Amino acid sequence: MVHFYFGKRFESARAGVRLVGVQCDKCGRKYFYQLARVGTGSADAPYYLGRSAAAISSQEQSQHDLEKRLTDEAELVPCPKCNWINDELVRGYRRGRFRRFLATRANRREDGESRVTSPHPDPLPEGEGDLRTRPET
Ligand SMILES: [Zn+2]
């Protein structure tokens, strides 16, 4: 029996929701919103050894990631009374945005360096207008 694959990558994702209580910094009104996030995890099982360990590890990672995101991150939900958004929510929202930014950068690095090209197209060669207006013979 021949195996052509030498390992397996386990990826897992876990979705969760947390009810977040907020007290408005401006008017003191208390309100709640639902924070929904997805945690991700991955682990490799080289040569198919330790497959169950890798599967469990990726699940634990995604659970841990989910808990961290639900704790650290926030949505920009304004106060229903005065429309104020607490700084705490803005910071939490930015943490989520920054995470995506880092993920994008990491993916790009794997693709290799991208070359910077000039945004300006080459100028038209001189005399092109002459060609167009030259009378036909
Ligand atoms: Zn308010």
| Averaged pLDDT score across all residues of the chain | 79
Residues with CB under 5 A from ligand 1 (ion): 24, 26-27, 29, 79, 81-82, 84
- The average pLDDT across 129-135 equals 52
Report CA(28)–ligand 1 centroid distance (Å). 6
Residue 121 above 70 pLDDT? no
Contacts of residue 20, Cβ cutoff 8 Å, sequence gap at least 6: 32, 33, 34, 35, 74, 75
pLDDT of residue 116: 45
Which two structure tokens, joined as six digits, stand for 130?
């002459």
Cα–Cα distance for residue pair 76/69, rounded to 1 Å: 15
Cα–Cα distance for residue pair 50/63, rounded to 1 Å: 20
User: Minimum mean pLDDT among 21-25, 81-85, 94-98: which range?
Assistant: 94-98
